[in-house]
Each structure stands twice: as structure tokens, then as C-alpha cells.
């Protein structure tokens, strides 16, 4: 029997991913220190639709908890997880390396450094996401500029090495700043370990960047498939490999910076989710990118659910939860990947 092509398998895979995401969203909205009945929650959502009037039976306190606390948190977790997973898939397509992640080119180090500066020197919490966003973009631009000085022959390996150099330098600067104000270490580490306990203002902050980066990355799925055979072969097929690499890197970096700005540094999502998608649905980026977006959203919603319920009423940093899940998975990827080319 012939194997179904990725294009034919895509609708079924997307339906499954959407169902899984819907289940995760439902769990995230209803489960917590204070439980909300699933039926009442769904009826309340219907009641908010135009020309629909139904009684949900929820109390005013439950309604406030649902719409002002839990829903923005769940939505933000889904957006952050989707962005990190999809940007990870984009980086892996550009570098043709299953171990590439969204922090490869200095995004995490740049965000960590500028966020630390804001916490230590300015001490205005509302400016931390803006500083982290600027730092993530700045770190990527610095790494790309440094890698470009090697000339055309450098390729993806030069970009990776430039990212490592920039990350190490910025991490050293961050450590130096931390030592200046030791009393601020708790705030700094709380941000570094990540979290999505935000409100609707953070969702609105990240939404436009998330939309732009998602559209660009999804539109380049076919071109990443062509580039997977190598730059020379892609050029022979009429694809401008340098332009595609630059556009995908910019879109993936924008997605990473947006996620980092509102959640802090959350690791492993960009490696674990795309790899799992490839194992389940094949390696075509026309499939991997959209499924990584949906799978990353579901993964982060579940991780946040565990973070706020495992030690309730205390709360774990979400980065700790993703590390518990992601680190063993990452070791499995390392063992399964015999040769890694960059």
C-alpha cells in the first residue's frame, strides 16, 4: 500500500491537533485551585456571543475568575507555546538541524540581559516586557551581523557560532549586572524561569507580532521543504536560498522575542514539539509548521496547568515544568540523532 503524501495526510492531522488543543484549553479553563464547571463555562462563553442569551449558572466570582484571571492566562500560554514551537521548527528548517531551538541566535541571552538591566536599574515592572523584546531582537541582529562578516562561505555554521559567541558575551554581562544588585536576584530569577500569569494587556501586546510571524513562517513551508535538499539544489530549482533564510530567521526571531517578552525564558518547547510532530506526521514543513503551532499551544497550556496545580496553592515556574518534560526528551533526541549537520 502506498504511503499517504504529507499534503493528503495534513487535514486529518490538523483536525486531531485542533481537537487536542481544544481539550487542553478546556482543561486549562476549568481546572485549578477553584474549579469551574465545564458546562457552565461553555454556556457563559455562548452567552457572550451576539444575539445569544443563556444562563450559565456561574456566580459573579466564578465569572470574574474565568474572564479576568484564568482565560487571559490560558490564552497567553497557548500563544507563547505556539510561537516558541513554530519558531523552533523554522530554525530547524533553516539550519537543517533537529536540535536547533528558538534561542540559538542570542534571543534568550539578549532578552535576559535587557530584562535584568530593567529590573536592577530602572525597577519599573511594566517596562520589562518591552526591554526583553528589544533585547531579544538586538541579540539576534548582533549575531546575524557578526555571522555575516565571515562572507558568503560561512553559511549556517557561521551563524550558529556567532549566536553562541553573542549568547556567551551577553550572559556574562547579565551575570555582572546581577552581582551589582544582589538583592534583586529573586525578581531576576523569577523572570528567567518563566511564567504566563499575565492579563489581557499582555495578550494584546504580543498578538500583532504573533500574527505577522505566524503568517510569514506558514507561508514559507514549501520553500523550507525545497531548502532541505541543500542550498545549491534549492538555487537550481529557482529558490533564493539566502532570501528565504533571512526571512525565516527574521520571522522566527520575531516570534521568539514576542514570546520571551511576555513569558520570560521557557526552554525545550521549540525542540520537543517540532520533533514530536515529525515523528507523528512526517518531515514536510507544510505539515510541521502548522502542527507545531497547535502542538506548542497545547503543550504550554498543559505545562501551565501543572505549574499551578502540582503544589497548589504554591505555584511552580513554568520553565521548571517544561525542563522536567523536555530534558529527558532532549536526551532521547540526542541519542537518536547520530549525525547533526549545521
In a domain, 96, yes or no: yes
**Phi, psi dihedrals of residue 315, rounded to the nearest 5°:** -135, 130
Cell 547533526 belongs to 340
How far apart are the C-alpha atoms of 229 and 235, rounded to whole Å?
Answer: 10
Total domains in the chain come to 1
| CATH number, position 279 | 1.10.3470.10
Rounded (5°) CA angle 264-169-209? 35
Give the pLDDT confidence score for residue 337 in this predicted structure: 60
* H/E element, 287: helix 285-309
d(CA 31, CA 308): 10
Average pLDDT over every residue of 265-275: 90
Residues in CB range of 37: below 8 A, 6 or more apart: 30, 57, 58
Mean pLDDT within 12-19: 90
Band (328; pLDDT cuts 50, 70, 90): confident
Collapsed DSSP state (helix, strand, coil) of residue 58: coil
CA–CA distance, 98 with 333 (Å, rounded to integer): 8
Maximum C-alpha span of the chain: 66
102-134: burial string, b at 16+ Cβ within 10 Å, e else: bbbbbbbbbbbbbbbbbbbeeeeeeebbebbbb
pLDDT band of residue 10 (cuts 50, 70, 90) is: low
Q: Residue 339: inside a domain, yes or no? A: no
Mean pLDDT, range 210-225, rounded to an integer: 93
The pLDDT-based confidence of 238 (bands split at 50, 70, 90) is confident
Question: Rounded to whole angstroms, how far apart are CA atoms 126 and 36?
Answer: 30
Q: How far apart are CA 80 and CA 90, in angstroms?
A: 15
pLDDT tens digits, one per residue of 282-323: 889 999 999 999 999 999 999 999 999 888 788 888 988 998
Contact indicator for 26, 300 with CB cutoff of 8 Å: no
- Is the pLDDT at 1 greater than 50? The verdict is no
Q: What is the mean pLDDT of residues 32-53?
A: 87
Quote the mean pLDDT of the chain.
84
Which residues, including other chains, have CB under 8 Å from residue 193's CB and lie 6 or more apart? 264, 265, 317, 318, 319, 320
The domain of 261 spans 6-334
**194 or 234, which is more confident:** 194
Residue with grid cell 562561505, as numbered in its chain: 153
> Is residue 162 scored above 90 in pLDDT?
no
Domain contains 111: yes
* Residue 242 belongs to some domain of the structure: yes
DSSP 118: I
In-domain check, residue 190: yes
**340 domain residue, yes or no:** no
DSSP 184: G
The rounded distance, in Å, linking the Cα atoms of 67 and 199 is: 10
Cβ 33 vs Cβ 309: under 8 Å: yes
What does the pLDDT average to over 158-186? 84
Cα–Cα nearest to 39, from 64, 65, 25, 57: 57
> Does 87 fall in a domain?
yes
Judge whether residue 207 has pLDDT over 60. yes
pLDDT above 50 (res 4): no
The single-letter DSSP state of residue 324 is H
What does the alpha-carbon distance between residue 335 and residue 323 come to, in Å, rounded to a whole number? 18
3-state secondary structure (DSSP) of residue 239: coil
pTM, whole model, 2 decimals? Answer: 0.87
**Any domain includes 341:** no
Amino acid at each position: 500500500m502506498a504511503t499517504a503524501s504529507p499534503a493528503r495526510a495534513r487535514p486529518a492531522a490538523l483536525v486531531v491537533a485542533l481537537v487536542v488543543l481544544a481539550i487542553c484549553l478546556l482543561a486549562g479553563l476549568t481546572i485549578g485551585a477553584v474549579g469551574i464547571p465545564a458546562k457552565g463555562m461553555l454556556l457563559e462563553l455562548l452567552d457572550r456571543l451576539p444575539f445569544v442569551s443563556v444562563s450559565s449558572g456561574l456566580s459573579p466570582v466564578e465569572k470574574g475568575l474565568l474572564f479576568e484571571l484564568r482565560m487571559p492566562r490560558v490564552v497567553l500560554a497557548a500563544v507563547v507555546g505556539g510561537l516558541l514551537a513554530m519558531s523552533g521548527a523554522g530554525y530547524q528548517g533553516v539550519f537543517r538541524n533537529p536540535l536547533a531551538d528558538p534561542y540559538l541566535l542570542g534571543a534568550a541571552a539578549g532578552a535576559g540581559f535587557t530584562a535584568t538591566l530593567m529590573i536592577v536599574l530602572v525597577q519599573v515592572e511594566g517596562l520589562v516586557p518591552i526591554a526583553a523584546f528589544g533585547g531579544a531582537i538586538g541579540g539576534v541582529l548582533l549575531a546575524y551581523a557578526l555571522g555575516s562578516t565571515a562572507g558568503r562561505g560561512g553559511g549556517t555554521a557561521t551563524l550558529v557560532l556567532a549566536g553562541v559567541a553573542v549568547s556567551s558575551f551577553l550572559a556574562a554581562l547579565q551575570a555582572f549586572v546581577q552581582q551589582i544588585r544582589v538583592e534583586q536576584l529573586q525578581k531576576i530569577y523569577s523572570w528567567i524561569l518563566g511564567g504566563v500569569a499575565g492579563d489581557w494587556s499582555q495578550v494584546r501586546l504580543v498578538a500583532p507580532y504573533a500574527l505577522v510571524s505566524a503568517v510569514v513562517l506558514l507561508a514559507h513551508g514549501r520553500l523550507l521543504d525545497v531548502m532541505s535538499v541543500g542550498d545549491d539544489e534549492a538555487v537550481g530549482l529557482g529558490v533564493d536560498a539566502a532570501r528565504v533564510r533571512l526571512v525565516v530567521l527574521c520571522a522566527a526571531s520575531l516570534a521568539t522575542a514576542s514570546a520571551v517578552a511576555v513569558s520570560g525564558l521557557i526552554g525545550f518547547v521549540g525542540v520537543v514539539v517540532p520533533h514530536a510532530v515529525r515523528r507523528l506526521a512526517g518531515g514536510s514543513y507544510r505539515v510541521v509548521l502548522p502542527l507545531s503551532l497547535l502542538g506548542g499551544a497545547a503543550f504550554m497550556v498543559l505545562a501551565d496547568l501543572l505549574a499551578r496545580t502540582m503544589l497548589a496553592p504554591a505555584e511552580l515556574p513554568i520553565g521548571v515544568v517544561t525542563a522536567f518534560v523536555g530534558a529527558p526528551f532532549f536526551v532521547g533526541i540526542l541519542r537518536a540523532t547520530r549525525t547533526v549537520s549545521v
